[in-house]
Amino acid sequence: MSVASMLNASATIKSKGTKTSDTMGGYSLATASTLATSDCRLRQMTADEARIYDRDSIRGMYRMYIEPVSGLTGSNWVVIGSSTYNVVGINNVDLADELMQVDMELVS
């Protein structure tokens, strides 16, 4: 079984832009540009209840497996479906340049 056959979702990697306040007191995320689009596999690592801005929320950490993407750094966002994730850590598995592990935190 090849690695590519296990990648069952599509990820869009974007450079960070700005946060813009909205009318409800929150913010919307504006991205500067798209770095790459690639197939991936997403796995939830943890989920905790957190108090964010005086509201009870769920804070989730995820791990994405993806074929190597040039230029991917900790200052990128990843969009999978309708969810946006903040890149927290990147690991080139076995330094083989065949598969990358990208740890992410759910933003929206």
- Return the pLDDT at 55: 61
pTM of the model: 0.72
- Return the pLDDT at 49: 64
Q: Residues with Cβ < 8 Å from 42, sequence gap 6 or more?
A: 9, 11, 62, 63, 64, 80
Q: What mean pLDDT comes out for the span 20-45?
A: 80
Taking the CA atoms of residue 101, residue 103, residue 40 and residue 12 in that order, the dihedral angle to the nearest 10 degrees is: -130
- Return the pLDDT at 20: 77
Query: Mind listing the domains of the chain with CATH numbers?
Result: 4-106 (2.40.10.270)
> What is the spatial distance between Cα 70 and Cα 85, in angstroms, rounded to a whole number?
18
